[in-house]
Amino acid sequence: MDERITELPVRELIERLATSEPIPGGGSAAALAGAMGAALVRMVVALSSGRPGAAESEPELTEIAVAAANCQSELLNLAELDAAAYDAVVKARRLPKETDLERQARSVQVAAATREATRAPMQTARVADTVLDLAERLAPIGNRNAVSDVGVAALLAAAAIRGAALNVRINLPYLDADEPLRDEAAAEVDPLLARLDERERAIRGAVEARLA
C-alpha cells in the first residue's frame, strides 16, 4: 500500500480489509480496535469532567485522559508499523533462493522481518492492556449517561489484546528455535490472556451496575 492506512476513509479501509491483499490485515485491525477503545475512553472523560459531583474525580479523570490520548496515538502508529512489518515479511519471502548464497541471504531477511512482525503485535497487546486498565478505572467514576461507551471501550481493548496475541502466535513458528523472542513473547502475552476474562467480567459488572 502506498497510502497510510490510518488516513484512509473508514469505508475504504473496510473494503481494503475485505480484499485478498494481505495488507492491511488482522494485526492492523487489532491496533485500530485498541485505538478506538482509547478514543471512547477520552470521549467519556470529556463528558464527565466539569460536571456536578465530578470534582473529587477530576485529577483521576485528567490522568486517564492523558494516558488514553497517548495510547490512541501509539496504537494508530502500531497499525501502520504492523502493516509495514508484514509487508517486509512478504518481500523477504519472495527473495530468490536458487543458490546457497541467495538462500542464506533470504533466510537472514525473513528472520529479521519476522522478528519485527512479532514485536509490533506484542506492543499492540501491551498498549491495549493499558487501555483496558483505563476503562476499568473510568467505569465507576465516568458520566453515568455514557457508561455504556466505557463498556464498548473495554470490549474493543480486549479484542485488540486477543487479536494482537493471535498475530504474535502465528509468527512464532517462523522464528529460529533459539530466537529469544520466542520465550519473550510467551512470557509477556500469555499472562495478559490468562487474566483477560476475569478483567472483562469485572468491567462488565461495573458498567452494568451503573446501567441499572
Q: For 17-71, how does the pLDDT look when each residue is reduced to its tens digit (9 = 90+)?
A: 999 988 899 999 999 999 999 999 999 999 999 887 777 889 999 999 999 999 9
What is the rounded CA–CA span in Å between residue 44 and residue 145?
9
Domain ranges (residues) in the chain = 22-211
Query: In this structure, which amino acid lies at residue 50?
Result: G
What is the rounded CA–CA span in Å between residue 111 and residue 97?
15
- 22-211 CATH, one of 3.40.50.300, 1.20.120.680, 2.10.109.10, 3.40.50.720: 1.20.120.680
pLDDT tens digit sequence for 86-123: 999 999 999 999 899 999 999 999 999 999 999 999 99
pTM of this prediction exceeds 0.85: yes
